[in-house]
Amino acid sequence: MSFKIPYGKQCISEEDTSAVIEALHSDFLTQGPKILEFEKNFAAYIGSKFAVAVSNGTAALHLPLLAIGLKSGDRIITTPITFAASANAARYCGAEVYFADIDSDTYVISIDSVKALLQKHPKGFFKAIVPVDFTGYPVNLEEIKKLANEYGLFVLEDACHSPGGYFKDSKGVNQNCGNGVYAEAAAFSFHPVKHIASGEGGMITTNNEGLYKKLMMLRTHGITKENMLLDFPEADKQGLWYYEMQELGYNYRITDIQAALANSQLKRAEQGIKKRQEIAAKYRTAFANTKIKMQAEHTNHFNAYHLFVIEVDTRKELYDFLKENGIFAQIHYVPVHLMPYYKQFGWKEGDFPNAEAYYKRCISLPMYPTLTNEEQEHVINKVKQFINIL
Ligand SMILES: Cc1ncc(COP(=O)(O)O)c(C=O)c1O
C-alpha cells in the first residue's frame, strides 16, 4: 500500500458542493446574503457579538490594527513562532514589530517574556499585542489582558489556528478563542488546511460595536452609506445610490461563493474538533514514554489541534524519512524574527532562545479530520521506526 499523507487537508462534503452550486446560481456571487448568514452563524459558534468576514486571515489581522489607527512610529508585540502574517499586519500599518519569546512547553508566547519586555520600556511604548493560539493551543488571554490594561495595549488575538478551542479563566468559565471577552478583536483564517475551509477567507470577531462598524467600512474601501457626512454639492438631491468614502480602506471582501462553502463547513466544525482530539489522543498514547517531546497539555486549555507538533533531536532526518514513506510532515514555523525581511530591523539569532531551540526540533505530523486510522497507524509506525533506528 502506498501512502500520500499531507500534514493538513480540507474536507469537502456533498453538502458543501451543493451549497457552492446554490451560491453560483443565486443573484449574488459577492456582496450578497451568504456573507451575512455566515457572519451570524460564525459569531454564534464563537460566542462573540459581531463578526466581519474578509478575504483571508491576513486581512483579518490587518483591519483591526488599521481601525485603531496603528501607524508608523507605533510598536506592537507578537511571537516569533507564528506565520509571518501575525507580524506583517502591523508592518502594513507602518508600525514596528517586537517579539517576545515562547514558552518551551506550550509553544505560545510566554507571559513572563511579555512582562519583561513591557517592563523594559515606558508605558505607551507599545500600542498593541498580537498573541497567537499556536497549533490551536489557547493563549491565556486573561493574563495578557491584565498586562494590556496596565500598559494600555490593544489585544488582537490571532485565532487562525483555534476556532473551537477555549481556556478556563480564573473564575472557572470556559472562554472560547475569539469570543472577545479578554481581547478587543480576533482574527480567523479559512485557508484549506484550517478547521473551516473556503479556499481563501477570514473573519474578525469582536464585541465592540464601534470597532465592528469601522471594520465593515474598512473592508470595502472605507465606503459607507451609514452616518454620512453629506458634505456634498446639492446633498439634498442625492438618491439611494449615494455613498461616501470616509476613510482609506481596502477591498478585503469575501465572496458569496466562499461564504457559502465556509457556512456549510461550519456545520461540521464540532465534529471536526472531536476527530482532531481523537487523533491527538492516539499520537499521545503512541509516543508516551519515548524520547519524543510533545506540546504540553493543560486541563484549563482545550487545544483545537490545527496542528500536532512533536520535537525530536534529528528533525531534518525524520522529515526526510517520513517523506520517503509518503508522509508529508511540515515545519511550523521558521521563526519570524530570523526572516531576511525582519533581520533588517536588527533581529538576530540568539534573540529568542526558546523559539530558536524549538524551531530546530519541531515537526508537525498529519492532523486533519479525514485522516484514516490506517494512515495514522502508518505515521505512528514510521515515526517509531525512525526513533528506534537511532
Ligand atoms: C497563525 C496564522 N496567522 C495568520 C495566518 C494568515 O491567514 P491567511 O493565509 O488566511 O491569510 C495564518 C495562515 O496560515 C496563520 O497560520
Does residue 389 carry a pLDDT above 80? no
Pocket test for ligand 1, best of 88, 107, 108, 189 (most atoms within 8 A of CB): 189
Give residue 57 CA to ligand 1 midpoint distance, Å: 5
Query: What residue has cell string 519583561?
Result: 116
Pocket test for ligand 1, best of 160, 177, 364 (most atoms within 8 A of CB): 160
Does residue 380 carry a pLDDT above 60? yes
Does residue 390 carry a pLDDT above 90? no
Does residue 325 carry a pLDDT above 90? yes
Give residue 84 CA to ligand 1 midpoint distance, Å: 8
Residue whose CA is at the smallest distance from ligand 1 atom 14? 83
Give residue 134 CA to ligand 1 midpoint distance, Å: 11
Q: Work out the average pLDDT over 149-166.
A: 98
Give residue 385 CA to ligand 1 midpoint distance, Å: 33
Q: Work out the average pLDDT over 131-146.
A: 98
Q: Work out the average pLDDT over 318-341.
A: 98
Q: Work out the average pLDDT over 338-350.
A: 98
Give residue 158 CA to ligand 1 midpoint distance, Å: 8
Residue whose CA is at the smallest distance from ligand 1 atom 7? 57
Query: What residue has cell string 499521545?
Result: 284
Q: Work out the average pLDDT over 166-194.
A: 98
Residue 207: the pLDDT is 98
- Ligand 1 environment, Cβ below 6 A: 56-58, 82-83, 85-86, 132, 158, 160-161, 189, 191, 202
Region of poorest pLDDT, from 237-241, 255-259, 352-356, 386-390:
386-390
Pocket test for ligand 1, best of 7, 54, 55, 58 (most atoms within 8 A of CB): 58
Residue 313: the pLDDT is 95
Please name which of 74, 35, 23 lies closest in space to residue 216, comparing C-alpha atoms. Answer: 35
Q: Work out the average pLDDT over 304-331.
A: 98
Q: Work out the average pLDDT over 158-187.
A: 98
pTM > 0.95: yes or no: yes
Q: What is the pLDDT of residues 72-107, one digit of tens each?
A: 999 999 999 999 999 999 999 999 999 999 999 999
Which ligand 1 atom is nearest residue 193's CA?
14
Give residue 85 CA to ligand 1 midpoint distance, Å: 6
Return mean pLDDT, the chain: 97
Residue 68: the pLDDT is 98
Q: What is the pLDDT of residues 42-63, one digit of tens each?
A: 999 999 999 999 999 999 999 9
Pocket test for ligand 1, best of 191, 194, 331 (most atoms within 8 A of CB): 191
Region of poorest pLDDT, from 1-10, 130-139, 184-193:
1-10
Residue 388: the pLDDT is 83
